Chains A and B, each alone.
Chain A
Amino acid sequence: MRIRALSFVVIALLCAGTAGAQQRRITGTVAAREGGAPLTSASVTVQGTTTGAYTGTDGKFSVMAPATTVSLRVRRIGYQARTIVVTTSQNDVTVALERDVLQLEAQVVTGTSTAVASENAANAVTVIAAEALTRVAAPTIDNAMQGKIAGAIVSQNSGAPGGGTQVQLRGVSSILGAYSPLYVVDGVIVNNSTIQSGLNVITNASRAGSAGNFSSSQDQSVNRIADLNPNDIESIQVLKGPSASSIYGSKGTNGVIIITTKQGTIGRPTVDFTQRVGHASLANKLGSRCFQSATEYGDWANVNLGQSKTAAAAEWTAAPTKCHDYEEEYYANDDLSYETVASLRGGTQAGTNYFVSGLVHHDNGLAPNDYYNKQALRLNVTQSFGPRFTVGANSEILHSLTQRGISGNDNTGITPGDIFSNTPSFYDLQRNADGTFPRNGSGLLPGSNPFQNADLVKTPNNTYRFIGSLTSKLSLYKTSRNSVDANFTGGIDSYSSKDRLISPATGYTEAAAFGANAGTLFNSDAALLNANINGSIVHRLAMKKFSAQTSAGFRQERRESMVTQLTGKGVIFPTVTSLASAAQTFPDQTIGLSRDFALFAQEEFFALDERLLVTAGVNTEKSSGNGDQGKFYTYPKVSASYRLPFLPSFVSEFKARAAFGRAGNLPTAGRTTFLTNLLYEGFTGTRASTIKGSPTIQPEQATEIEGGFDATALDSRVRLSATWYKKQITDLLLQAPIVPSLGFTTQYLNGGQITNRGTEIELDLTPLRRGSLIWVSNTTFAKQTGFVDDLPEGIAPFNPGVGSFSPRYGNAWIQEGASTTVIQSTVGCTGGVPASGTCAAANRILGLAGDANPDFNMGFSNQIDIGPVRLTGLLEWRKGGDVVNLTNNYFDSSNLAADTLASAKRLAEFNAAQHPYVENAGFVKLREITVGYEIPERLIRTMFRGRAESLRLELSGRNLKTWTKYTGMDPEVSNFGNQPLGRFQDVTPYPPSRLFFFSVISSF
């Protein structure tokens, strides 16, 4: 494989033509059309050669060119590129560049060290620039991406502080395998795992039954991409499907999100300083039943608690407050949130560029004592040694301390939502004057007081993370026609995430749930390391008629993890938090190690005056996760794009593109048969597990065909992009029945097929552009469907497992011919519903009752600049998509819902084997809105004595309003956190918050 890559280089060199004819020097200046300010770091290339230069601080450049008429291509980020024809008589030119308001001029990644201009890109790659990302402060990167990527469904799991969001690109691509997109930061593949926080030890959500009752998927934990600092990001590129992500081989099925952080720029050092102060408030609440009279309550207590009506009525009469609004009382953390971002950026003529940034972020959670604190420090340095060698080092240290409180499913009566749905609202639960907490007097959940739990129970997560990379670029050989570069990147992502849970025995819920064993401690220590290196050689050949970029290289990755957990039960003394004091301790540990190695080669061929781009590439990879650890799996890709030459006058660009690619998904399990432990008279016995691994387990194969066009018209004021794709995933990792007389019950195998089809349309407009008034509008539309085409013979339709409680409420279901995201539930009663209204268990009919996939997703983003005033807004419309609202069932079962009539109707339908809890969760959300004012230059000069460059004041809001028919707290919800399927369960989640921020953004 390596020899082949080398021969590419050799052949290309041999094909190199003769060196140039006579040369001349062309100089010039590049400036912005508006205002005439000189532009630094603009690239000027001589077309048809490999020669080029960058402009300096004064906007001036100097470049060698043949002594004929040449075309210079001038490019700069944020501005539209131009081609200038320079005749033989001209030797000095002035180039004026137009602002690129529609973001047309990005560079699109096509390989680990290759990129093409987006005008040539053959894939639909979404590029999000820094300003769009951090227009409104977002606590985590995934929050910041909501509503900005066509074809992506970015959903928050709950309103708890600190993150917990899932990004799903182009539908469900795996049933049992990995489902997260790959995140790459400056060439380092970073870890996006979720380390479970251990909440299960006090909530007993998963009823694990094991003595230690360890963490489960219902711990409401955060996927760790949340650690990153969104303010450091220069741009995000989203490779949405295998036709683009084929370069990442068997990690590319779910798409790749490539993050590039800010680098230094040549020129005088600039300091950016932003201070934000904000406030979060409860965005939605459910309310609970307000008893209007003593008799009403007496009747309720008689039916639900078996109490005597008169005694209960007297209790109600004696209560000082008849109806508490528990949610308002509880989710009332009024403290301010703040964020301080500072960065220093500059570059010297000696070739050193640097970027230093810092972040201090504090978010308040709505529940008492909940918070999200994050600090980050980054240093990016690039040093050029002459024109041939550049070395860059990017490093970031991150720290986050989060307390997310208790929410989600539970079976011990500890989650606030559970308590509220079981407590008649006249009980006073807030702290007494003497500092103690009242016992919850309700017969349904005796004792449980969420205010006391919030005060006593601590759930801190402390994470330290380091992400660092080293990049080097060496120019091996350079002539006017050829250049050969060697690139090398190596980096690590290492983090240590510690979770602690302290639930003292003095808590009423703790005492009631665990009796003699009250007092719970939990410690989780997770240490993860991702390390990867990649190297490539890139050869660029520039001929008159065509140019080609050939690259070949290797990539190696290593992932290590060790998660050690300890539970202690029966901790008698509430101030002691060491596990050594626990009456019983339960340990557990999970270790993982995997290694991958890949070789790749790619050819990018430009012809027809840089109108045609044809790319062909292949990536071959082996991994320790496969059954055969030494076998290479190959992922090819082919794509082409053509910028049409003959266009009507009002259309400036029209590019048709088509791409084909294959990527894979590493098997997360299935290569080995494990041994299980059994007990016999207390002694441990071991035998093979009844789940048989397969020595031939291989990655899932995802093949995608994508086609579309990008058009720019009306003097670059309109950009329309449309894409259609079909993604077929075969060799899915599945569990199938096996012949039981072999001694097993199930086996892992690859089989089956899923097909996802979709359409993505993006329309970027500049409807108004007059003087200092600019209105830019971006609209995205995406529609996607996925079907299970085939399941291997012998596999009956099944529930994929995690993420469901019972078909009576609704669960995920995999069935041949049905949508991948279909929800199965009870759909009727055989023989009709009897007079009692309750359908017997044996008579319930199961069927397909809904689909979690939305009909379509639209994003509306608008930015209006009127002189110094800027208004921006982002609205997201998700139509359709069902959620199972189990929280309603809590209220219905206790008959304490605010709307008693609707609640009774739901309960009747539930008993009659219908599915009232499968609800349409379509919504329109006003995600971001800002009003900003740029303080005039004159004022700044007097205020800061000429040292400041700009000062802007902004008022912004996040998640301000949601319009939805969904009756739960937030249509974006997932009790089980990030899941491929089974995302749609709503069980007493942390409510969503509405954030307001006032920011001062300055630049010096």
Chain B
Amino acid sequence: MRKHLISLTAGIALAAGCVDNTIVSPENAPTVDALSGALTTAGVQTLAIGVLAADRALVRGDLTYLTLTAIYARDAYRIDPNEPRYVSETLGGQPDPGSFAGGGGWTNGFVAIRAANSLLDALPGALESQVSPQQKAVTAGLVQTIKALDYYRVLELRDTIGVPIQTAKLDEVTPLSCKKNVLDYIAAVLDSGLTSLTAAGTTQLPFVPPTGFTAFGRNYRTPANLILLNRGLKGKVDVYRGLQHSSPTAGAFTAAITELTQALGGALPGAVPASSFQNGAYVTFVPTGTEGAANPLADSRVGLNPKAQAALQTGDTRSSKIVTRSSLAGQGLSTTLTYVGTPVNTANQTRPVGILRDEELVLLRAQAYIEANQLANATADLNSVHTAYGLTAYPVFADQASARTALLYEKRYSLFFEGPQRLVDLRAYGLLKAGSTLAELASDPYNTAFPIPKAEADARGGTSNLTVSCK
């Protein structure tokens, strides 16, 4: 018996002696678990800058957001003997969902949205001693505005083809939503951003944002100015909610007018001075060093569609945006002109791209007035832009059609090569089709939007799983 006891106790002693904790936190590099921990001010800063950097990556990536949309809008050509798809999959044929021409501007957008969602998730848990509730609110307001901006950017590229709305869960795949639902969602996010910004009072962001948010006529570190950006974006969204011909949102234009006026500081129609047109928030670029992020438009293979110059009125000083270049020809297209921002030099590589500047706000308000049939107000706003460029003022427009023509002209040349605004407008007014627009090539398919990338379709199990849900 004693022998049994000895062995039993020995056995227990042996077994009990083991320490068996195998829980180890990653020490080598930060993981997403760090987000659910307690954030410090520095943590909030790096995450917020990460959101902005991801947004810039969307603007730069695959040459889609600025270059391909300008080609679709018939303002630009890109002729590259090493890569014929810049013509054959834009003006000469359908874009291939598997290539850069069809697949760009998608993943980068959702990476930026995920970054925004992660930060919004982590903000409430930030250390109270480091980040006050007002600082959390103003940061949330900024991030929600950028998140809405990124959804809007993806929508500008995909239009009615469908955009899924991400949830907070890292692996929850949602169906593609129809354009109306996406616009409604963007509007809702902007409104919750407004709520956060209002709750922030006068507390500014707990970090210094990049110069694109401070150096262009307005310091967006303060909630007051962030509210202006937020309302401006909401106004833009409302204009297009109203122009949704399949299911226009009632009262969208009136709401847009209110919001855009707020964004313009309450200025009356026609009362925005030309000197403030450049004020706004911008995406800035740093081409050198490890950052290596140049403005993608600084590209020796990009040229101006000659028809864009032909449509310019004589005396319009916006002609300074067009310069001559060495002949660029191939694949049935040719030009000797280009946008001033395309020659490859430091100035162009660092040229900032506006997110939403006052000149655009004025023109959007004019657009809202036109659609709301307030033509006198529309004329006033249009003239504040038109006359700033050496042209004589428009008389009050007699009808919406002539007002729209003038609006499209002003928007085209004021916001020349600054983003997909022209493409969005051509789509909204049904102008991108045979008969309304001249064909660039015999096989011109009048592409209006980019397809769902093949990677997305494949990962979802096939193109049959890409049906758009409008619930």
Residue ranges of A at the interface with B (Cβ–Cβ < 8 Å): 2, 5-6, 9-10, 13, 210-211, 474, 476-477, 484, 486, 488, 533, 535, 537, 553-554, 556, 590-597, 622-624, 629-630, 672-675, 677-688, 690, 692-693, 737-745, 793-794
Kindly specify which of B109-117, B134-142, B442-450 makes contact with the partner chain: B109-117
With both chains docked as a complex, state the minimum distance between the C-beta of A696 and any C-beta of chain B, in angstroms: 10
Q: Is the CB of A477 within 8 A of B29?
A: no
Q: Is the CB of A535 within 8 A of B14?
A: yes
Contact of B23 among A630, A675, A739 (CB under 8 A): A630
Q: Is the CB of A688 within 8 A of B115?
A: yes
With A740-B107, A743-B115 already in contact, the answer to whether A476 and B456 are too (CB < 8 A) is no
Contact of A685 among B14, B28, B52 (CB under 8 A): B52
Q: Is the CB of A597 within 8 A of B7?
A: no
Q: How far is the CA of A591 from the CA of B24 in the complex (A)?
A: 12
Q: Is the CB of B49 within 8 A of A684?
A: yes
Q: Is the CB of A675 within 8 A of B32?
A: yes
23 A–B contact pairs at CB < 8 A?
Answer: A6-B8, A9-B7, A477-B3, A477-B7, A486-B10, A486-B11, A537-B10, A553-B14, A630-B23, A672-B31, A674-B31, A679-B290, A681-B291, A685-B50, A685-B52, A690-B111, A739-B173, A739-B459, A740-B453, A740-B455, A743-B113, A743-B166, A794-B461
With A672-B26, A672-B33, A683-B210 already in contact, the answer to whether A535 and B50 are too (CB < 8 A) is no
Chain A residues within an 8 Å CB radius of B253: none
Chain B residues within an 8 Å CB radius of A533: 18
A-facing residues in B5-29 (Cβ within 8 Å):
6-8, 10-12, 14-24, 26-29
Q: How far is the CA of A624 from the CA of B7 in the complex (A)?
A: 33
Q: Is the CB of B32 within 8 A of A688?
A: yes
Ranked nearest first, the 6 interchain pairs of A and B with the lowest CB-CB distance are A743-B114, A685-B49, A685-B50, A687-B50, A624-B24, A687-B115
Q: Is the CB of A474 within 8 A of B118?
A: no
Q: How far is the CA of A194 from the CA of B284 in the complex (A)?
A: 43
With both chains docked as a complex, state the minimum distance between the C-beta of B103 and any C-beta of chain A, in angstroms: 9
Q: How far is the CA of A630 from the CA of B51 in the complex (A)?
A: 34
Contact of A593 among B10, B15, B27, B170 (CB under 8 A): B27
Which of the four size classes fits the interface of chain B? Answer: 35 or more
Q: How far is the CA of A590 from the CA of B29 in the complex (A)?
A: 8
Contact of A556 among B20, B115, B173 (CB under 8 A): B20
Q: Is the CB of B459 within 8 A of A678?
A: no
Chain A residues within an 8 Å CB radius of B333: none
Asked whether any CB of chain A lies closer than 8 Å to the CB of B392, the reply is no
Q: Is the CB of B18 within 8 A of A554?
A: yes
Chain B residues within an 8 Å CB radius of A210: 290
Q: Is the CB of B21 within 8 A of A742?
A: no
Chain B residues within an 8 Å CB radius of A737: 455, 458-459
Q: Is the CB of A678 within 8 A of B54?
A: yes
Contact of B22 among A554, A595, A692 (CB under 8 A): A595
Q: How far is the CA of A513 from the CA of B253 in the complex (A)?
A: 63
With both chains docked as a complex, state the minimum distance between the C-beta of A743 and any C-beta of chain B, in angstroms: 3
Q: How far is the CA of A675 from the CA of B32 in the complex (A)?
A: 6
With both chains docked as a complex, state the minimum distance between the C-beta of B125 and any C-beta of chain A, in angstroms: 16
Contact of A675 among B12, B31, B51, B57 (CB under 8 A): B31
Contact of A687 among B28, B47, B458 (CB under 8 A): B47
Q: Is the CB of B10 within 8 A of A744?
A: no
Contact of B49 among A5, A477, A683, A692 (CB under 8 A): A683
Q: How far is the CA of A210 from the CA of B289 in the complex (A)?
A: 10
Asked whether any CB of chain A lies closer than 8 Å to the CB of B345, the reply is no
With both chains docked as a complex, state the minimum distance between the C-beta of A377 and any C-beta of chain B, in angstroms: 32
Q: How far is the CA of A10 from the CA of B4 in the complex (A)?
A: 8
Asked whether any CB of chain A lies closer than 8 Å to the CB of B46, the reply is yes
With both chains docked as a complex, state the minimum distance between the C-beta of A589 and any C-beta of chain B, in angstroms: 8
Contact of A10 among B8, B19, B28, B110 (CB under 8 A): B8
Asked whether any CB of chain A lies closer than 8 Å to the CB of B437, the reply is no
Q: Is the CB of A629 within 8 A of B49?
A: no
Chain B residues within an 8 Å CB radius of A590: 28
User: Residue among A596, A675, A737 with the most chain B CB within 10 A?
Assistant: A675
Q: Is the CB of B15 within 8 A of A744?
A: no
Chain A residues within an 8 Å CB radius of B12: 6
Q: How far is the CA of A13 from the CA of B3 in the complex (A)?
A: 10
With both chains docked as a complex, state the minimum distance between the C-beta of A294 and any C-beta of chain B, in angstroms: 41
With both chains docked as a complex, state the minimum distance between the C-beta of A279 and any C-beta of chain B, in angstroms: 45
Q: How far is the CA of A224 from the CA of B252 in the complex (A)?
A: 70
Give B13's nearest chain A residue, CB to CB. A486
Q: Is the CB of A630 within 8 A of B22?
A: yes
Give B455's nearest chain A residue, CB to CB. A740
Give B48's nearest chain A residue, CB to CB. A685
Q: Is the CB of B110 within 8 A of A740?
A: yes
Chain B residues within an 8 Å CB radius of A488: 14
Contact of B50 among A556, A591, A686 (CB under 8 A): A686
Give B43's nearest chain A residue, CB to CB. A686
Contact of B53 among A486, A595, A679 (CB under 8 A): A679
Give B16's nearest chain A residue, CB to CB. A2
Q: Is the CB of A486 within 8 A of B29?
A: no
Q: Is the CB of A742 within 8 A of B28?
A: no
Give B26's nearest chain A residue, CB to CB. A672
Beyond A6-B12, A680-B53, 4 additional contacts (C-beta under 8 Å) are A6-B15, A537-B10, A592-B28, A740-B107
With both chains docked as a complex, state the minimum distance between the C-beta of B23 and any C-beta of chain A, in angstroms: 5
Q: Is the CB of B3 within 8 A of A675?
A: no
Chain A residues within an 8 Å CB radius of B173: 739, 741-742
With A9-B11, A740-B453, A743-B114 already in contact, the answer to whether A556 and B19 are too (CB < 8 A) is yes
Asked whether any CB of chain A lies closer than 8 Å to the CB of B321, the reply is no
Chain A residues within an 8 Å CB radius of B453: 740
Asked whether any CB of chain A lies closer than 8 Å to the CB of B315, the reply is no
Chain B residues within an 8 Å CB radius of A673: 31-32, 170
With both chains docked as a complex, state the minimum distance between the C-beta of A680 and any C-beta of chain B, in angstroms: 4
Chain B residues within an 8 Å CB radius of A686: 30, 46-47, 49-50
With both chains docked as a complex, state the minimum distance between the C-beta of A65 and any C-beta of chain B, in angstroms: 22
With A477-B3, A693-B31, A794-B459 already in contact, the answer to whether A687 and B11 are too (CB < 8 A) is no
Asked whether any CB of chain A lies closer than 8 Å to the CB of B391, the reply is no
Q: Is the CB of B50 within 8 A of A681?
A: no
Q: Is the CB of A742 within 8 A of B4?
A: no
Chain B residues within an 8 Å CB radius of A685: 46-54
Q: Is the CB of B114 within 8 A of A595?
A: no
Contact of A597 among B15, B22, B57, B293 (CB under 8 A): B22
Q: Is the CB of B18 within 8 A of A535?
A: yes
Q: How far is the CA of A866 from the CA of B3 in the complex (A)?
A: 57
Contact of B211 among A5, A622, A681 (CB under 8 A): A681
Q: How far is the CA of A850 from the CA of B114 in the complex (A)?
A: 43
Q: How far is the CA of A738 from the CA of B28 in the complex (A)?
A: 25
Chain B residues within an 8 Å CB radius of A682: 286, 291
Q: Is the CB of B114 within 8 A of A6?
A: no
User: Residue among B19, B32, B52 with the most chain A CB within 10 A?
Assistant: B32
Asked whether any CB of chain A lies closer than 8 Å to the CB of B399, the reply is no
Chain A residues within an 8 Å CB radius of B4: 10, 13, 477
Asked whether any CB of chain A lies closer than 8 Å to the CB of B417, the reply is no
With both chains docked as a complex, state the minimum distance between the C-beta of B309 and any C-beta of chain A, in angstroms: 34
Q: Is the CB of A794 within 8 A of B23?
A: no
Q: How far is the CA of A686 from the CA of B26 in the complex (A)?
A: 17
With A597-B20, A682-B286 already in contact, the answer to whether A675 and B34 are too (CB < 8 A) is yes
Q: Is the CB of A739 within 8 A of B7?
A: no
Q: How far is the CA of A688 from the CA of B110 in the complex (A)?
A: 12
With both chains docked as a complex, state the minimum distance between the C-beta of A31 and any C-beta of chain B, in angstroms: 38
Asked whether any CB of chain A lies closer than 8 Å to the CB of B307, the reply is no
With A687-B111, A743-B115 already in contact, the answer to whether A2 and B164 are too (CB < 8 A) is no
Asked whether any CB of chain A lies closer than 8 Å to the CB of B460, the reply is yes
Q: How far is the CA of A258 from the CA of B21 in the complex (A)?
A: 27
Q: How far is the CA of A140 from the CA of B377 in the complex (A)?
A: 88
Q: How far is the CA of A692 from the CA of B31 in the complex (A)?
A: 10
Q: Is the CB of B459 within 8 A of A556?
A: no
Asked whether any CB of chain A lies closer than 8 Å to the CB of B351, the reply is no
Q: How far is the CA of A681 from the CA of B57 in the complex (A)?
A: 13
With A681-B284, A740-B453 already in contact, the answer to whether A745 and B107 are too (CB < 8 A) is yes
Q: Is the CB of A679 within 8 A of B28?
A: no
